[in-house]
């Protein structure tokens, strides 16, 4: 266990270095720079250059990189060019909304997909279970902004049940936070659940013919218990992988959802930073997304070990 | 036998869509001819599916957009599924490769996709090929990870040891014993990828990284129609429903194919059928 | 939607107004950040020596009165005496000098005006002297233009080009910064020490200001759908949605929809740089002949209410700059002739025109598509590259000859040529010319409105002859807001003198 | 009244080409507290019958049943799935044939054992689990409770399976070859346990076995199945001493007995003779040694295997040294969990030893892995896995599985390959239609023979056979043994034959080794082991070997 953790820590560092470095150079490859973005189309090249230098963007790429890397090593992620604030603070401020959405939607989709799939597995003849199972693939094919807008039109604009947008912290202001979270969560959950159901169904089907289920049934366990306690845990691995990857993607940016529901999250921040070419901020966000991503994957790997003893032993 | 009927029906329907998409545009007027006077017309006899904000005929755009959408989605799916499958198989089966490959995948996945796509599109120029490369690059690690997790489970089964005793090489074992066991999962991934590709294409166009306008794709039709969701809902509904239909059909074909490649699934199918009939 | 009439009743003090803005202001320094949102929030916080009224005419604000020397080279401004900054410090001449010096150095308009300025000096704590090298007709208008806000001198010392942070965002206006959650919302709060001018409200940004609202909250809402939905559900009280949304909002009885003065000049910009397909004037003429402007406007304008079919670079509301010169060129439409001219200019059928545009404003992409369609009708092919705004600018400047056309829009309520991108676009597309410079000098040398107006006509005419930009139309802006918002002057995001009906 | 009554039970498999009958009109009954042994040919439908009684077959195969299964007067075939579930566990318990596959690979033993108890009774359940594990001879209860199935030896798995079935004190216990993976001492304990359970709870038992000795020990009545039909049922003594059906008689005649050498071949049942109703056994006459015995010996030198990390480590094999000459038949017996399989896996280089080396000709297995060409090594050495089910790819047909070494190691292709596969299928006594079946569609014995056919296909010079005949009836067992003996006569073939069947190994091996707790405690010739065992454990083994009651002379059988 400790060995795994140590190894992961090493991997984490490697990934952060690689991603940070790649990002540093990649964003500078894309035409356009922050000075130009601020000064606009009629700016004189000299002014652009002056502003650029005031932003610390003169000097060769390597010099810039080394200076940035040096600062990062000392825990200094620089200052956002557009917001004039330390990157760390800006990023930390934008993490909670994204994390709230990502965690909640992942958990809900996970539970929901497990419920739908097991229900169908337990009672394949129930028409509703069957329909849910069959139609789940459609969930993936629904454009998320489309379903968002429809839901907002119905539940916010017409029925006035839920706010059409906004974000409040779940911890400091749960009464306002919950209603505002409902619609974005629903949208995220629809797409993810569809994906999870497909994955899980496939992997559960793979378990069904295995002999250990016979034993479970011979104990007189109910069919639901057989599915939930025996088939499911054994079939969970691909789903958990899927969950991990998806979570990573959510953390990296639910841009559309965040913008439709006006949620100040990381995706929104990143998009904004890209459009203003706020290099330090882009780099900072990227490093944090990578960090979250690796941590999530560590969790995923640990849960592999919890689920499949053979993986743990070897 | 029911299995075959679904397969035939679903595959036939998909085939029909492909055929329409391939053949019909030849007989349709230009998809880029604008006609501002007749913009945002609801579906009517003259314009079966209405017109868009430029006054272009949605039906002909839908049909010709299918070319790019289906073609692109098929290419992306094939490329991403194939590379993901190979990487997943190799890294799940060969411990030594795993450490390296999975870390590469991790780094790859934790790199924000938008920026990756932008960098690619700008360095290579936005085109169908850029989009293909960008989406393949973005989707591959997801497939790879899912496949790998199944490979890990399969690799610990005793019959893998038995294959070794039978003198089968590691690579061949991978192909003969491991691959068929992950194939059903790979088929699911194909459906997932195809759906995602058709939709993401719209987002890419929105970022200016996709197929250049006015060439229609279902994805960018949805993206363009977005601002008219209330006033001209058909602009979004029509391509959206088309995508859903294709995904649904693909899903059907996928599960039917799974039964075809997996003898055990066939038995299961029979079983389910018996169970649903008796009692 | 009901129109806001004069029957708003007596003002009510208190309450919070929530306003949706499309982006975070990012910086509250109006010199370092010329962005729209920054300007609109800044106008609530800061004040200039002069401010524009509803007709975009400059009126004194921090200046009590001023005198002009006979030779029109020396302006002496007497400042109002009772004005204090939001941190309690009194406004002094030193503050004005420091602020204007920075404007000359760091702001685009200031830089353009600067060569004419000899010095800006403080006489006594309440007088400021501006000496010019040569007479400059629009100088008062320019002192009412964005970038000339008066900040405290102590806050400006040693500032980097990137501007000041929110701790120094202190002005003399009726509202001051209360809180700012980056990317999320910004809250302004009434500045209780504000001393209003005594005049009747001149409208616009000028005249008496009464802060009835306790707070004004600016919410960052980038997404258009979210903007409209939130407006309908009462998440915010005021928004300026895109023109696409106009008709449906107008039909909605729960919101008030009203036009704003001024608007945008929508332009197609041909590249003059050698190597571009439009370097040859005939090619530009051809382009103008080709474009079916009414059709393009119909397909992109959102509503007839919002489109003014004019080739002018200023809005009709901007009386001193609105000119109908060159209107005949604007209205020309002859695709056949266009084809012929293009061929003469070395752009035969079958060539490819490279359009670089951005998706940051939906209209741009649409113009590009329509343009493409019209070009294709005369056998010219097009390659459209659509990028986000920053990338587009980067692409345009990185390879000055690598593009043929681009699309932009400009504010049409600007009050001097130095502020007008349409006239200062030379850095972007290489359209500067001696003739233009001479006309600009001529304008600055005007002594009265009539003279100035006749130069404006020449400038407008020159634009249509050179075709440094091809104007498609003017779009009017509009605000959509809750019927509870009373006393609102329908002037952008100016909310003093406004209140919320209980 | 009988507790269990089968009334003309038929089980048919639904296939695309109509139904195929697996069990035909089976009628029998069993009173409470009694034990019915079911013996019979491998693949004759014993497991199918057992699974039909508890109605678990319908979950894994599309079947149609007709006839009645009356349990306590209630016809089980007509029950709703819910009501049927109520019978399972508490009233009907089952021990499955292949233990490894029948345990959930992802759950610890503890969880699997206590699962059928409601939550508030968990402590009670755990106490009971401990007691049962001790009773089945897994005295190291704490460790065992915390193991996952793949961490246990075959015997341990089987005992856990037994404990599992006994957890809820069923009224009827269906035990499908419950002791095949157990050494005879442990088997004796288990049989005693069954007896105790039967006395204490009045549990009736359907006991499926291939071991006539075991049947003789536990049965009240014996039923004999042949090709899906019940050919004989009666009291134990009657069936064993005066069998009426020729098949039964032949079966009994094939049972190996201590002290009877079978080195020249085993008797088997000839179907042709059986159909004629004559003496149905025949004994193959092996060809004489017709070739010089050459090749390299297998040398195991001080090999140990330690599982787990320091702290909770386990020495599965402890400093074992051993040499098997070319052509030698080396039998390895020993306590369950004593490290036999582990040793076999190390010899076949599936597992690397923690210390020591194993050399076979030019090949050497060391802690660093296998040195030299793996392909050559595989050609020379083959392994028959202890648990056939999990060692067969569930997606491959029997023919494909058998063809694998032929392709990979010999390079056969096309029709040559097909004909060799067909040959091999016949050689191990499988019906020809086995070729196209998937492992899940085969009986336990059939799977085991597929696994044997795979191992002998490449004509290796060393076979590590890990209990290759445990699931086979005596006749088929004879057939397989004959095959191995035949191979040994025609070529140089060394055998490391791991088994629990003392009678079998002592009647045929050249030398026999006894393992106990990871160590090789005794090696000697069969006669020496049988008559003059040196180690205490060997003596216990011999004492516990179940024997048939003295059989009437063969002549009598032919009457
Ligand atoms: N799931 C299945 N699908 C198809 N055929 C099956 C299935 N299970 C068993 N059979 C067939 O039914 C027959 C009887 O099998 P069964 O398992 O009952 O034999 P058995 O008497 O238990 O043999 P053994 O002693 O070898 O275990 C075999 O020929 C086998 O091939
Ligand atoms: N992968 C493993 N991890 C941990 N312990 C193991 C593993 N495999 C086997 N063991 C342990 O090693 C010991 C020897 O097991 P092995 O399978 O060699 O016994 P065996 O002699 O073959 O027994 P049986 O006759 O019951 O098959 C057992 O105590 C078992 O629990
Ligand atoms: Mg059996
Ligand atoms: Mg063993
Ligand atoms: Ni069928």
Read off the CATH number of the domain in which D311 is found: 3.40.50.300
- Residue A155 falls inside a structural domain: yes
For residue B183, the CA-to-ligand 1 centroid distance in Å is 28
Alpha helices in C325-361 (DSSP H): 327-331, 335-344
Domain span at residue D470 reads 298-543
The protein residue whose alpha carbon is closest to atom 28 in ligand 1 is D43
For residue B147, the CA-to-ligand 5 centroid distance in Å is 28
Domain span at residue A101 reads 95-276
Residue D398 distance to chain A (closest CA, Å): 18
CB distance A23–B115 less than 8 Å?
A: yes
Q: Give the three-state DSSP class for B12.
A: helix
Q: Which two tokens stand for residue C23?
A: 């982006």
Alpha helices in A123-143 (DSSP H): 127-141
- Which has more confidence, B90 or A52? B90
Phi-psi region of D315 (alpha: psi -120 to 50; beta: other; left: phi over 0): beta
For residue A220, the CA-to-ligand 3 centroid distance in Å is 21
- Which has more confidence, A158 or C12? C12
| Nearest ligand atom owner, CA of B277 | 5
A263 close to C230: Cβ distance less than 8 angstroms: no
Three-state DSSP string of D239-282: HHHCCCCHHHHHHHHHCCCCCCCCCCCCEEECHHHHHHCCCCEE
Residue B140 distance to chain C (closest CA, Å): 25
Element (H, E) at B266: helix B263-277
Return the pLDDT at D310: 61
CB distance A167–C161 less than 8 Å?
A: no
Q: Residue D353: which of C394, D345, B209 has the closest Cα?
A: D345
- Residue D10 falls inside a structural domain: no
Which of B155, B162, B182, B184 should be substituted to probe chain D, the one whose Cβ sees the most D Cβ atoms within 10 Å?
B162
Per residue in C192-217, pLDDT (tens digit) is 999 888 887 788 899 889 999 999 99
Q: Which of A15, A209, A311 sits opposite B110 (nearest CB)?
A: A15
Q: Which two tokens stand for residue B11?
A: 């595959």
CB distance B212–C244 less than 8 Å?
A: no
DSSP for B117-135, please give it: HHHHHHHH-SSHHHHHHHH
Task: Domain ranges for chain B, please list them.
Answer: 53-278
- Give CA separation, C48 vs C52, C59, C63, C192, D403, in Å: 10, 10, 8, 19, 92
Q: Residue C396: which of C385, C409, C380 has the closest Cα?
A: C385
Q: Residue B260: which of D400, A234, D403, D395 has the closest Cα?
A: D395
Average of per-residue pLDDT across A84-98: 87
C319 close to C260: Cβ distance less than 8 angstroms: no
Query: For chains A and B, what is the number of CB pairs under 8 angstroms?
Result: 166
CB distance D116–A217 less than 8 Å?
A: no
- Looking from the CA of B148 toward its CB, the CA atoms found within 13 Å total 30
Q: Write the CB contacts of D195 (distance below 8 Å, at least 6 apart in sequence).
A: D218
Name every chain D residue with its beta carbon within 8 A of the beta carbon of A210.
Answer: 101
| Number of compact structural domains in chain A | 1
Residue B110 distance to chain C (closest CA, Å): 23
- Residue A138 falls inside a structural domain: yes
Rounded to the nearest 10 degrees, the angle between the axes of helix D184-201 and helix D536-544 is 50
Q: Give the three-state DSSP class for D493.
A: coil
Element (H, E) at C354: strand C352-358
- Looking from the CA of B37 toward its CB, the CA atoms found within 13 Å total 1
- Give CA separation, B120 vs B98, B108, B134, B202, in Å: 27, 14, 6, 17
Q: Give the three-state DSSP class for C107.
A: coil
Dihedral sign, CA of A115, A121, A123, A124? positive
Which atom from ligand 2 is nearest to the alpha carbon of D345?
A: 18
**Mutate-to-test residue for ligand 2 from D307, D344, D352, D496, highest number of ligand atoms within 8 A of CB:** D307
Return the pLDDT at B266: 63
Return the pLDDT at D372: 82
Residue B258 burial (10 A CB sphere; 0-12, 13-18, 19+): buried
Q: Between the CA atoms of B245, B249, B250 and B253, what dihedral angle is there, to the nearest 10 degrees?
A: 180
ipTM confidence:
0.81
Q: Which two tokens stand for residue B232?
A: 């001209």
Give the span between the Cα atoms of D330 and D350, in whole angstroms. Answer: 20
Dihedral sign, CA of A69, A74, A75, A78? negative
Q: Write the CB contacts of D422 (distance below 8 Å, at least 6 apart in sequence).
A: D432, D435
Q: Between the CA atoms of D272, D276, D280 and D285, what dihedral angle is there, to the nearest 10 degrees?
A: -50
- Residue D219 falls inside a structural domain: no
- Residue D266 falls inside a structural domain: no
Return the pLDDT at B17: 86
D166 close to D200: Cβ distance less than 8 angstroms: no
**B53-278: CATH number:** 1.10.3720.10
Q: Which residues of chain B have pLDDT under 50?
A: 1-2, 277-279
| Tens-level pLDDT at each residue, chain D (559 residues) | 688 999 999 999 887 777 888 898 999 989 988 899 999 888 888 999 999 998 888 877 788 888 999 988 889 888 888 888 888 888 899 998 877 788 888 888 998 898 888 888 888 899 999 999 998 888 888 889 988 888 888 888 888 998 999 888 899 999 998 888 888 888 888 888 888 888 888 889 999 998 888 888 889 999 999 888 999 999 988 888 888 888 888 888 888 877 778 877 888 887 777 777 666 677 777 766 666 677 788 899 999 999 876 667 788 898 999 999 888 899 999 888 889 999 999 999 888 899 999 988 888 888 888 888 888 888 889 999 888 888 898 888 999 999 999 988 888 888 999 999 999 998 888 888 889 888 888 888 888 889 999 998 888 889 999 988 888 888 888 888 888 888 888 888 899 999 988 888 888 899 999 999 889 999 999 889 888 889 999 998 888 887 766 554 443 343 3
Residue C370 contacts B where some CB pair is shorter than 8 Å: yes
| Number of compact structural domains in chain D | 1
Angle formed at CA B240 by CA B237 and CA B242, multiple of 5 degrees: 110
CB of D155 closer than 6 A to ligand 2?
Answer: yes
Tell how far CA B89 is from the center of its chain.
20
Tell me if the bond preceding B214 is cis, omega within 30° of 0. yes
Q: Which two tokens stand for residue C67?
A: 């005198």
For residue D92, the CA-to-ligand 3 centroid distance in Å is 18
Give the span between the Cα atoms of A125 and B276, in whole angstroms. Answer: 6
Confidence of residue A313 (pLDDT cuts 50, 70, 90): very low
Q: Residue C411: which of C324, C477, C478, C319 has the closest Cα?
A: C477
Q: Write the CB contacts of D194 (distance below 8 Å, at least 6 apart in sequence).
A: D35, D173, D175, D205, D207, D218
CATH classification at residue A235: 1.10.3720.10
A50 close to C161: Cβ distance less than 8 angstroms: yes
CB distance A244–B103 less than 8 Å?
A: no
Q: Residue C369: which of C429, C271, C300, C294 has the closest Cα?
A: C300
Give the span between the Cα atoms of D524 and D526, in whole angstroms. Answer: 6
Per residue in B198-219, pLDDT (tens digit) is 877 767 766 666 776 677 888 8
Residue C442 contacts A where some CB pair is shorter than 8 Å: no
**pLDDT value at A140 more than 90:** no
The b/e string for C414-445 (b: 16+ C-beta within 10 A; e otherwise) is bbbbbbbbbbbbbbbbbbbeeebeebbebbbe
Q: Write the CB contacts of D227 (distance below 8 Å, at least 6 apart in sequence).
A: D41, D44, D45
Return the pLDDT at B263: 62
Instruction: Quote the radius of gyration of chain B (alpha carbons, Å).
Output: 22
CB of D148 closer than 6 A to ligand 2?
Answer: no
- Residue A86 falls inside a structural domain: no
Please give the backbone phi and psi of residue D199, each rounded to the nearest 5 degrees, phi first. Answer: -70, -45
Q: Residue B70: which of B207, B217, B213, B187 has the closest Cα?
A: B217
End-to-end CA, chain D: 36
Give the span between the Cα atoms of A163 and D340, in whole angstroms. Answer: 69
Q: Residue C217: which of C410, C500, C489 has the closest Cα?
A: C500
Q: Give the three-state DSSP class for D352.
A: coil
CB distance B276–A19 less than 8 Å?
A: no
DSSP for C401-425, please give it: TS-SEEEEEEES---SGGG-GGGST
D221 close to D230: Cβ distance less than 8 angstroms: no
Q: Which two tokens stand for residue D169?
A: 């004190």
Asked whether at least 3 C-beta pairs link C and D within 8 Å, the reply is no
Q: Which two tokens stand for residue B20?
A: 């329409």
CB distance C372–B213 less than 8 Å?
A: yes
- Residue A309 falls inside a structural domain: no
Name every chain C residue with its beta carbon within 8 A of the beta carbon of A51.
Answer: 161-162
CA closest to D95 among chain A residues: A215
Return the pLDDT at D555: 39
Name every chain A residue with its beta carbon within 8 A of the beta carbon of C424.
Answer: 42
CB of D61 closer than 6 A to ligand 1?
Answer: yes
Name every chain B residue with its beta carbon within 8 A of the beta carbon of C366.
Answer: 53-54
Return the pLDDT at B1: 43
Give the span between the Cα atoms of D197 and D387, in whole angstroms. Answer: 28
A157 close to C229: Cβ distance less than 8 angstroms: yes
CB of D48 closer than 6 A to ligand 1?
Answer: yes
Average of per-residue pLDDT across A238-256: 79
Q: Which residues of chain C have pLDDT under 50?
A: 1-5
D389 close to D98: Cβ distance less than 8 angstroms: yes
């Amino acid at each position: 266990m400790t060995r795994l953790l140590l190894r992961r820590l090493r991997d984490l560092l490697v990934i952060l270095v690689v991603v940070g470095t790649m990002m540093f150079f990649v964003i500078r490859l894309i035409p356009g720079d922050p000075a130009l973005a601020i000064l606009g189309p009629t700016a004189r090249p000299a002014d652009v250059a002056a502003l650029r230098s005031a932003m610390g963007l003169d000097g060769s790429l390597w010099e810039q990189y080394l200076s940035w890397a040096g600062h990062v090593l000392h825990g200094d992620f620089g200052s956002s060019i557009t917001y004039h604030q330390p990157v760390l603070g800006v990023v930390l401020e934008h993490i909670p909304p994204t994390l709230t959405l990502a965690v909640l939607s992942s958990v809900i989709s996970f539970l929901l997909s497990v419920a739908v799939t097991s229900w169908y597995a337990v009672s394949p003849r129930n028409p509703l279970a069957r329909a849910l199972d069959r139609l789940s693939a459609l969930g993936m094919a629904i454009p998320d902004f489309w379903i968002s807008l429809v839901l907002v039109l119905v539940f916010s604009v017409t029925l006035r049940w839920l706010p059409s947008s906004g974000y409040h912290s779940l911890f400091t202001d749960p009464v306002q936070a919950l209603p505002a979270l409902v619609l974005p969560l629903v949208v995220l959950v629809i797409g993810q659940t569809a994906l999870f159901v497909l994955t899980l169904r496939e992997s559960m089907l793979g378990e069904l013919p295995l002999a250990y289920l016979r034993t479970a049934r011979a104990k007189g366990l109910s069919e639901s218990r057989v599915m939930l306690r025996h088939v499911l845990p054994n079939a969970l691995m691909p789903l958990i992988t899927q969950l991990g990857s998806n979570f990573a993607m959510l953390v990296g940016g639910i841009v559309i959802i965040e913008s439709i529901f006006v949620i100040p999250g990381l995706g929104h921040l990143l998009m904004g930073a890209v459009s203003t070419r706020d290099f330090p901020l882009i780099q900072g966000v990227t490093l944090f997304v990578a960090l979250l991503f690796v941590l999530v994957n560590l969790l995923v790997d640990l849960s592999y070990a919890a689920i499949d003893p053979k993986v743990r032993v070897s | 036998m029911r299995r075959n009927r679904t397969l035939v029906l679903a595959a036939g329907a998909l085939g029909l869509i492909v055929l329409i998409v391939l053949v019909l545009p030849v007989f349709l007027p230009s998809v880029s001819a604008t006609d501002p006077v007749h913009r945002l017309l609801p579906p009517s006899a003259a314009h079966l599916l209405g017109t868009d904000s430029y006054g272009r005929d949605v039906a002909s755009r839908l049909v010709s957009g299918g070319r790019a959408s289906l073609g692109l989605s098929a290419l992306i799916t094939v490329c991403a599924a194939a590379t993901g499958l190979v990487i997943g198989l190799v890294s799940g089966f060969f411990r030594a490769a795993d450490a390296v490959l999975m870390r590469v995948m991790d780094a790859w996945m934790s790199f924000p996709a938008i920026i990756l796509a932008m960098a690619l599109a700008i360095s290579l120029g936005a085109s169908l090929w850029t989009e293909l490369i960008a989406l393949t690059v973005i989707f591959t690690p997801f497939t790879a990870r899912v496949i790998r997790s199944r490979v890990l489970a399969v690799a610990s089964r005793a019959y893998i040891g038995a294959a070794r005793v039978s003198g089968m090489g590691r690579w061949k074992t991978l192909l003969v014993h491991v691959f068929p066991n992950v194939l059903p999962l790979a088929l699911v991934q194909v459906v997932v990828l195809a759906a995602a590709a058709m939709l993401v294409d719209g987002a890419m166009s929105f970022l200016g990284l996709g197929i250049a306008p006015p060439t229609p794709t279902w994805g960018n039709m949805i993206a363009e129609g977005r601002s008219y969701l209330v006033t001209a809902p058909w602009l979004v509904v029509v391509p959206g429903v088309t995508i859903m239909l294709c995904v649904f059909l693909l899903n059907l074909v996928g599960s039917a194919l799974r039964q075809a490649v997996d003898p055990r699934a066939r038995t299961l199918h029979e079983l389910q059928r018996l169970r649903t009939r008796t009692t | 939607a009901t129109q806001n009439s004069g029957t708003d009743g007596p003002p009510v003090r208190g309450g919070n107004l929530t306003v949706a803005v499309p982006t975070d202001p990012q910086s509250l320094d109006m010199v370092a950040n010329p962005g729209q949102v920054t300007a609109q929030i800044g106008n609530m916080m800061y004040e200039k020596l002069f401010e524009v009224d509803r007709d975009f005419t400059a009126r004194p604000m921090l200046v009590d009165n001023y005198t002009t020397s006979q030779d029109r080279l020396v302006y002496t401004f007497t400042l109002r005496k009772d004005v204090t900054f939001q941190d309690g410090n009194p406004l002094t001449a030193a503050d004005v000098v420091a602020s204007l010096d920075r404007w000359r150095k760091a702001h685009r308009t200031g830089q353009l005006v600067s060569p004419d300025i000899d010095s800006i000096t403080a006489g006594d704590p309440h007088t400021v002297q501006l000496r010019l090298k040569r007479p400059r007709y629009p100088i008062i208008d320019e002192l009412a233009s964005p970038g000339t806000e008066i900040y405290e001198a102590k806050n400006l010392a040693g500032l980097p080009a990137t501007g000041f942070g929110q701790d120094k965002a202190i002005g003399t206006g009726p509202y001051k910064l209360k809180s700012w959650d980056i990317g999320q919302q910004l809250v302004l709060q009434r500045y209780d020490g504000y001393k209003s001018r005594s005049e009747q409200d001149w409208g616009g940004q000028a005249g008496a200001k009464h802060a009835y609202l306790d707070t004004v909250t600016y919410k960052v809402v980038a997404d258009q759908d979210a903007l409209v939905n939130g407006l309908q559900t009462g998440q915010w009280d005021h928004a300026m949605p895109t023109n696409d949304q106009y008709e449906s909002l107008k039909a909605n009885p729960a919101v008030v929809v009203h036009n704003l003065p001024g608007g945008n000049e929508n332009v197609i910009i041909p590249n003059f740089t050698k190597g571009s397909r439009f370097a040859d004037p005939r090619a530009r003429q051809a382009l103008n002949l080709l474009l079916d402007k009414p059709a393009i406007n119909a397909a992109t304008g959102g509503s007839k209410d919002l489109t003014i079919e004019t080739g002018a670079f200023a809005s009709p509301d901007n009386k001193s700059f609105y000119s109908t010169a060159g209107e005949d060129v604007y209205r020309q439409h002859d695709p056949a002739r266009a084809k012929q001219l293009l061929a003469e200019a070395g752009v035969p059928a079958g060539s490819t025109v490279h359009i670089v545009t951005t998706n940051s404003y939906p209209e741009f992409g649409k113009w590009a598509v329509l343009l493409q369609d019209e070009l294709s009708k005369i056998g010219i092919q097009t390659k459209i590259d659509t990028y986000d705004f920053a990338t587009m600018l980067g692409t345009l400047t990185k390879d000055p000859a690598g593009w043929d056309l681009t699309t932009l829009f400009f504010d049409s309520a600007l009050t001097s040529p130095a502020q007008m991108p349409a006239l200062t676009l030379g850095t972007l597309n290489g359209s500067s010319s001696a003739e233009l410079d001479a006309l600009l000098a001529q304008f600055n040398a005007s002594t009265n409105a009539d003279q100035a107006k006749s130069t404006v006509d020449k400038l407008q005419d020159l634009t249509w002859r050179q075709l440094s930009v091809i104007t498609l139309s003017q779009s009017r802006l509009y605000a959509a807001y809750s019927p509870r918002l009373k006393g609102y002057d329908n002037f952008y995001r100016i909310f003093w003198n406004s209140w919320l009906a209980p | 009244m009988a507790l269990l009554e089968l009334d003309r039970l038929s089980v048919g498999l639904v296939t695309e080409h109509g139904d195929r009958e697996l069990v035909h009109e089976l009628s029998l009954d069993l009173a409470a507290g009694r034990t019915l042994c079911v013996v019979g040919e491998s693949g004759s439908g014993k497991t199918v019958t057992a699974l039909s009684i508890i109605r678990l077959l319908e979950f894994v195969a599309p079947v149609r049943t007709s006839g009645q299964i009356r349990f306590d007067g209630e016809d089980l075939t007509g029950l709703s799935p819910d009501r049927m579930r109520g019978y399972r566990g508490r009233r009907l318990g089952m021990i499955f044939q292949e233990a490894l596959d029948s345990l959930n690979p992802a759950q610890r033993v503890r969880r699997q054992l206590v699962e059928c108890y409601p939550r508030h009774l968990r402590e009670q359940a755990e106490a009971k689990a401990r007691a049962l594990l001790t009773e089945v001879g897994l005295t190291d209860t704490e460790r065992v409770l915390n193991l996952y199935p793949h961490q246990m030896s075959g015997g341990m798995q089987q005992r856990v399976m037994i404990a599992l079935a006994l957890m809820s004190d069923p009224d009827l216990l269906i035990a499908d070859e419950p002791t095949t993976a157990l050494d005879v001492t442990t088997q004796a304990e288990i049989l005693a346990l069954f007896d105790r359970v039967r006395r204490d709870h009045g549990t009736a038992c359907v006991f499926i076995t291939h071991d006539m000795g075991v049947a003789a020990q536990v049965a009240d009545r014996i039923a004999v199945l042949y090709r899906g039909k019940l050919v004989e049922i009666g009291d134990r003594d009657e069936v064993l001493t005066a069998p009426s059906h020729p098949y039964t008689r032949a079966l009994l005649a094939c049972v190996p007995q201590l002290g009877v050498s079978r080195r020249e071949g085993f008797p088997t049942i000839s179907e042709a003779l059986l159909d004629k109703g004559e003496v149905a056994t025949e004994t193959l006459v092996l060809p004489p040694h017709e070739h010089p015995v050459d090749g390299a010996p297998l040398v195991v030198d001080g090999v140990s295997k330690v599982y787990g990390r320091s702290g909770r480590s386990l020495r599965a094999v402890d400093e074992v040294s051993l040499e098997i000459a070319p052509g030698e038949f080396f039998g390895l017996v020993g306590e369950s969990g004593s490290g036999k399989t582990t040793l076999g896996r190390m010899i076949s280089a599936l597992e690397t030893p923690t210390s020591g080396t194993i050399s076979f000709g030019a090949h050497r297995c060391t802690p660093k892995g296998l040195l030299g060409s793996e392909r050559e090594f595989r050609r020379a050495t083959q392994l028959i896995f202890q648990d056939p089910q999990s060692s067969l790819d569930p997606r491959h047909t029997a023919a494909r599985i058998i063809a694998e070494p032929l392709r990979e190691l010999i390079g056969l292709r096309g029709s040559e390959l097909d004909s060799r596969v067909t040959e091999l299928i016949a050689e191990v006594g499988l019906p020809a239609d086995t070729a196209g079946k998937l492992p899940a569609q085969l009986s336990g014995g059939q799977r085991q023979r597929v696994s044997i056919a795979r191992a002998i296909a490449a004509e290796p010079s060393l076979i590590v056979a890990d209990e290759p005949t445990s699931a086979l009836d005596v006749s088929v067992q004879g057939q397989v043994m004959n095959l191995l003996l035949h191979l040994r006569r025609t070529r140089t073939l060394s055998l490391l034959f791991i088994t629990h069947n003392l009678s079998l190994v002592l009647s045929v091996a050249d030398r026999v080794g006894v393992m106990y707790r990871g160590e090789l405690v005794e090696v000697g010739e069969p006669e020496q082991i049988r008559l003059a065992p040196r180690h205490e454990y060997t003596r216990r083994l011999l004492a516990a070997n179940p024997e048939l009651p003295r059989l009437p002379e063969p002549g009598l059988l032919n009457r």
